């Protein structure tokens, strides 16, 4: 990939980029107190990183502007899919799309090699990088790990499926890291006219506040949260509510079935619903209930999935103009 007009070139990394890599990594690490670069003692492979990655079945890319290394990334096969590694970007290049281009190269290369998943580890101090990964569909996975290096590094793991349609349940850590991406999906769905308890215009903070409450409910065991990825992009979600009254321990609620408007009509909603229903059976629930705007397209989906209509409540919800709309209640015995 080239950007000659701007003086930017993204190309395969070479061993002779080593000095540029060391300078770039040093600049990035110096943004965080106590994080130090000791090349010979801890990362001697940087001296011949292209060869190192090739020897491990991976690949390396360099972003260069006017002869100066301003970005880098690498990927290689690991025990569970491929590993994203050495993601660094000069401060002057952030927000320009260079980081996204590097990430796409690494993911596309892994996908072409047959990888179903991409994972990475990142210092817990690098919160800006975490936001970047989360924006591109990565969620937290597992606990933390200590490297016992000179910087006393503690790392957090991130992961995402790379290929096709994949639905997974999110634990509390994953749910928290997905809040920003799920907020975007929620806002996009509301903008497209979805009647899901919100009115236009839906600002970012109320959407984020909603997902923070969901994360808390996941942590308390009151909600099970599912997310769908389409070719590595976080594309949809649904919730299974388990916090029922004392006389309804056999029941659950399906809540907030959302699919990004840009990635609809691919069976995503159907697979999300099947995942939530299976989880309900696993949790010992025999009856599920949901509601949707009467005559909404989603009502057809629920009928096709074997849900039965219980009736319509007229004037149940208002839109942003104040007009009242009916809500249809559905149930399904499992």
15, pLDDT greater than 60: yes
Q: How far is CA 184 from CA 114, 144, 174, 293, in A?
A: 29, 27, 16, 21
The rounded percent of the chain whose pLDDT value lies above 70 is 98
In three-state secondary structure terms, 33 is coil
Helices and strands counted in the chain (H then E):
10, 15
For residue 330, name the pLDDT band (cuts at 50, 70, 90). very high
165-170 vs 251-259, strand pairing mode: unpaired
**Stronger pLDDT, 296 or 222, i.e. the higher one:** 222
Instruction: Determine the Cα–Cα distance for residues 27 and 20; give it in Å rounded to an integer.
Output: 11
4, pLDDT greater than 90: no
Task: Calculate mean pLDDT across residues 246-252.
Answer: 98
For residue 11, name the pLDDT band (cuts at 50, 70, 90). very high
Instruction: Determine the Cα–Cα distance for residues 19 and 22; give it in Å rounded to an integer.
Output: 5
263, pLDDT greater than 60: yes
Strand partners, 131: none
Element (H, E) at 20: helix 18-29
What is the reported pTM? 0.94
Tokens for 296, please give them.
């909404």
CATH 3.40.630.30 residue ranges in the chain? 2-116, 165-333
3, pLDDT greater than 90: no
| Average pLDDT of every residue of the chain | 96
Q: Specify the DSSP class assigned to residue 32.
A: S
5, pLDDT greater than 70: no
Task: Calculate mean pLDDT across residues 178-202.
Answer: 95
Instruction: Determine the Cα–Cα distance for residues 135 and 181; give it in Å rounded to an integer.
Output: 6
151, pLDDT greater than 70: yes
Kindly report, residue by residue over 75-128, the tens digit of the pLDDT.
Answer: 999 998 999 999 999 999 999 999 999 999 999 999 999 999 999 999 999 999
- The pLDDT assigned to 245 comes to 98
Instruction: Determine the Cα–Cα distance for residues 205 and 280; give it in Å rounded to an integer.
Output: 31
Instruction: Determine the Cα–Cα distance for residues 134 and 127; give it in Å rounded to an integer.
Output: 10
45, pLDDT greater than 60: yes
- The pLDDT assigned to 295 comes to 84
Fold of 165-333: Aminopeptidase (3.40.630)
Tokens for 3, please give them.
């950007």
> In 3-state terms, the chain is what percent helix, strand and coil (to 5)?
35, 35, 30
2, pLDDT greater than 70: no
Residues 258, 185: contact at Cβ < 8 Å? yes
Kindly report, residue by residue over 292-327, the tens digit of the pLDDT.
Answer: 999 888 999 999 999 999 999 999 999 999 999 999
Which CATH number does 2-116 carry? 3.40.630.30
Would you state the torsion angle of the CA atoms of residues 261, 265, 267, 272, taken in this order, to the nearest 10 degrees? Answer: 20
Give the residue from 274, 202, 214, 203 showing the smallest Cα distance to 242: 214
In three-state secondary structure terms, 161 is strand
């Amino acid at each position: 990939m080239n950007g000659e007009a701007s003086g930017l070139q993204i190309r395969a990394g070479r061993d002779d980029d080593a000095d540029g890599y060391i300078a770039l990594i040093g600049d990035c690490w110096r943004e965080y107190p106590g994080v130090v670069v000791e090349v010979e003692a801890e990362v001697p492979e940087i001296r011949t990183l292209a060869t190192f990655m090739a020897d491990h079945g991976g690949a390396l890319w360099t972003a260069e502007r006017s002869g100066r290394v301003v970005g880098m990334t690498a990927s290689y096969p690991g025990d569970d899919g491929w590993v994203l590694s050495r993601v660094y970007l000069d401060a002057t290049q952030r927000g320009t799309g260079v980081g996204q281009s590097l990430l796409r190269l690494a993911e596309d290369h892994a996908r072409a090699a047959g990888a179903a998943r991409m994972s990475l580890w990142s210092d817990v101090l690098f919160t800006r990088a975490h936001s970047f990964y989360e924006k591109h569909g990565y969620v937290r996975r597992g606990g933390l790990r200590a490297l016992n290096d000179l910087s006393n590094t503690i790392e957090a793991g991130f992961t995402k499926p790379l290929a096709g349609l994949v639905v997974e349940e999110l634990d509390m850590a994953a749910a928290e890291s997905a809040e920003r991406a799920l907020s975007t999906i929620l806002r996009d769905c509301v903008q497209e006219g979805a009647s899901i308890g919100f009115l236009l215009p839906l600002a970012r903070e109320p959407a984020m506040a909603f997902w923070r409450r969901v994360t808390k409910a996941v942590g308390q065991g009151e909600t099970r949260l599912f997310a769908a990825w389409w070719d590595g992009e976080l594309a949809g979600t649904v919730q299974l509510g388990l916090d029922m009254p004392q006389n309804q321990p056999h029941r659950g609620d399906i809540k907030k079935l959302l699919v990004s408007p840009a990635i609809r009509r691919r069976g995503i909603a159907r697979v999300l619903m099947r995942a939530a229903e299976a989880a309900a059976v696993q949790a010992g629930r025999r009856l599920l209930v949901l509601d949707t705007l009467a005559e909404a397209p989603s009502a057809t989906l629920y009928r096709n999935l074997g849900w039965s209509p219980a009736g319509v409540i007229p004037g149940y919800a208002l839109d942003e103009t104040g007009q009242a709309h009916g809500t249809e209640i559905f149930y399904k015995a499992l």
